Chains A and B, each alone.
Chain A
Amino acid sequence: MGRTLADKVYDAHVVRSAEGEPDVLYIDLHLVHEVTSPQAFDGLRMAGRKIRRPDLTIATEDHNVPTTDILAPIADPVSRTQVETLRKNCAEFGVRLHPMGDAGQGIVHVIGPQLGLTQPGMTVVCGDSHTSTHGAFGALAFGIGTSEVEHVLATQTLSQKKPKMMAVTVNGELPYGVTAKDLILAIIARIGTGGGQGHIIEYRGEAIRALSMEGRMTVCNMSIEAGARAGMIAPDETTFAYLEGRPHAPAGAEWEAAKEYWRSLRSDDDAVFDREVVIDASTLTPFVTWGTNPGQGAPLSANVPDPAEFEDPTRRSAAERALQYMGLTAGTPLRDIAVDTVFVGSCTNGRIEDLRAAAAVVKGRKVADGVRMLVVPGSMKVKAQAQEEGLDAVFTEAGAEWREAGCSMCLGMNPDQLKPGERSASTSNRNFEGRQGKGGRTHLVSPAVAAATAVTGHLAAPADL
């Protein structure tokens, strides 16, 4: 029987397999940040253990970091302690760290691919659920908790049971103005927040192949929002072109050898998936969320749904609760929803193409009165490139705030937060209650929709301008 892409990558990393026991799975790259690692380092110290492979480990400061005045000490003493703890741990255990202010600093899922550290066929983990991002390269990449972070530090392996396989095939072509973000939001709305539970999703089909690497990262990034720990896309010429010449990509004869191997990383024609979903890309339009989980989304042209229309009682009560939290009334056109904040950034949409897409919309226009627009590059490299292209000026001339790199308002661990009752259009990945600040209300959108929303003051697509 044929094997899937995920089978191939998984099987190639099994160190030990025994009946009735989980597999010991080797990890090629371990990404570390300040929030989910301190207790893991403590665990190592208490047990007198070292990091087995510091040379396969890299750390950055992203979740807590302010996006202004980054050369001053962090004002919040608790955040400062956490960041300083990471610095001490990395120094003590010999881990490469990109601290605030460093040209290589950025969101952990932006810097891995940027450095060429994320490559096809690898296993990549991080104490962060959006590690699924790296699956865009045909790597098996997933988020882990702090106990597992400690396990990887100590053993460079994880104790794993092979997940089930799910194929999401996107046929046809995305219409003009419909982006990777719209696509993944539509996929999550279709399969639900628990739809991918226990599975690795492989995204395939014409519309996926046509995406850039950054678009593919946006799609894989939100696999976790569909319940799947990992999302993958088979590597192809687009992948190779993105990787070639990056600091940690193979070079010379090794580049050729690697490419030959990477070309074998695709699901066999007779591979069997435990579940398959097919989507017609040509029917998609800009997509936004109206509720408090990422599966509660609809086309921008739709109205806020009436909970009474949900047949399933669990979904109905979830929708009722969501509308109450979001302060929305059933039947309101989504386009009529006014926002006071627009956030462009995050590991979902904080890359250069995302910033270009948003800049193209706001160029020569103004952010609407009463709206604040925050643009937070995913990494200092993205920031530098955007500035080289003059995007910072486009944003600031439109009235947006141009910030330093970090997770920022995606999860509001730094000062970039919504106040109670404030409403955002956000290019991030989670619209959970309080995610962007206690009492804050979040609508997940693409960078283009975020930018158009900033200009009009209510949810809008560029075509509405």
Chain B
Amino acid sequence: MEAFTVHTGRAVPLRRSNVDTDQIIPAVWLKQVSRTGFEKGLFSAWREDPEFVLNRPEYAGASILVAGPDFGTGSSREHAVWALQQYGFRAVISARFGDIFRNNATKMGLLPIELPEDYIEGLQDKIEANPAKEFTIDLPARELRCDEGGVRSFEIDDYTRWRLTEGLDDIGLTLRHADDITVFEKSRQPWLPVTA
């Protein structure tokens, strides 16, 4: 996983609620068996509209997506996270995230930041007023900073923050407890099914 510590970049406002993972990456893109090339599928239906925010030149190269509430609902497809990352996003800000999307994002090092809806609307206004505005996300300090001096703190649990800042892979962490898993397996109920 890609580590996330401090990131500075421009932001793009996506003024839509309930951006489900089918919109982030439509199903037709899920047939690939590799982990790369998903940036082409990011919002592919919406990107056909020349007015769609990601098509506007002033937002080219932005790395922070500032979206409406309930971002990443629906399908469990981790391809949504891969598509956002491969397109160049390092963080998504929303008032609420789909649980599976948020989980997938933190496994991959895409930072989901939850902030209140009215704050996000204010942020979107500011970005639209000046798309060149830069923001700094300081994960160790749990802060979102604006180039003109505004600071907003956000919440993230200590463990996830540590894992993200170190770029640690969950499997390696869990395998440190392989002996506990072996012990647990001996206590499983005898009737539990096997597929073999």
Contact = CB atoms under 8 A, between A and B. Distances in A.
B76 A128 contact: yes
Interface in B171-196: 171, 173-175, 177-178, 180-181, 184-185, 188-196
Interface in A95-135: 96, 116-117, 119, 122, 127-129
B20 interface: yes
A438 B108 CA distance: 28
A29 interface: yes
B148 interface: no
B175 A155 contact: yes
Interface stretch (A78-86, A170-178, A398-406): A78-86
Interface in A44-75: 47, 49, 52, 54-58, 63-64
Nearest to B184: A15
Contacts of B33: 38-39, 42, 81-82, 85
Interface in B85-121: 96-100, 103-104, 107-108, 117
B103 A193 contact: no
B69 interface: yes
Contacts of A321: 16
Contacts of A76: 31
A157 B174 contact: yes
B68 to A, nearest CB: 6
Given A22-B159, A147-B107, A193-B70, A55 B174 contact: no
B141 interface: no
Contacts of A147: 78, 104, 107-108, 170
B196 A155 contact: no
A263 interface: no
Contacts of B8: none
A105 to B, nearest CB: 15
Interface stretch (A254-262, A298-306, A353-361, A368-376): A254-262
A29 B70 contact: no
Interface stretch (B22-30, B58-66, B127-135): B22-30
B74 interface: yes
A4 B35 CA distance: 39
Contacts of B5: none
Interface string A312-356: 001101100100000000000000000000000000000000000
Contacts of A64: 31
A128 B68 CA distance: 24
A57 B159 CA distance: 29
B193 A82 contact: no
B47 to A, nearest CB: 12
Contacts of A127: 76, 78
Given A24-B177, A117-B195, A129 B100 contact: yes
Contacts of B68: 314
Contact of B73 (A38, A57, A82, A293): A293
Contacts of A255: 191
A229 B73 CA distance: 10
Interface residues of A, number: 87
A283 B97 CA distance: 32
Given A293-B73, A314-B117, A146 B194 contact: no
B145 interface: no
A119 B192 contact: yes
B18 A227 contact: no
B20 A197 contact: no
Nearest to B46: A433
Nearest to A59: B195
Contacts of A293: 18, 20, 73
A28 to B, nearest CB: 6
A430 B196 contact: no
A257 B191 contact: yes
A20 B174 contact: no
Given A47-B171, A127-B76, A21 B195 contact: no
Contacts of B28: 412-413, 438
A29 B27 contact: no
A411 interface: yes
A38 B35 CA distance: 9
A194 B73 contact: yes
B160 to A, nearest CB: 8
A225 B23 CA distance: 15
A248 interface: yes
A433 B22 contact: yes
A159 B69 contact: no
A229 B34 contact: no
A250 interface: yes
A148 interface: yes
A313 B81 CA distance: 28
Contacts of A155: 171, 174-175, 178, 181
A159 B180 contact: no
A156 interface: yes
21 contacts: A24-B180, A24-B181, A36-B78, A49-B171, A52-B181, A54-B195, A55-B196, A76-B31, A85-B33, A96-B195, A117-B195, A143-B100, A145-B107, A148-B107, A194-B70, A227-B98, A257-B191, A292-B18, A318-B18, A321-B16, A413-B28
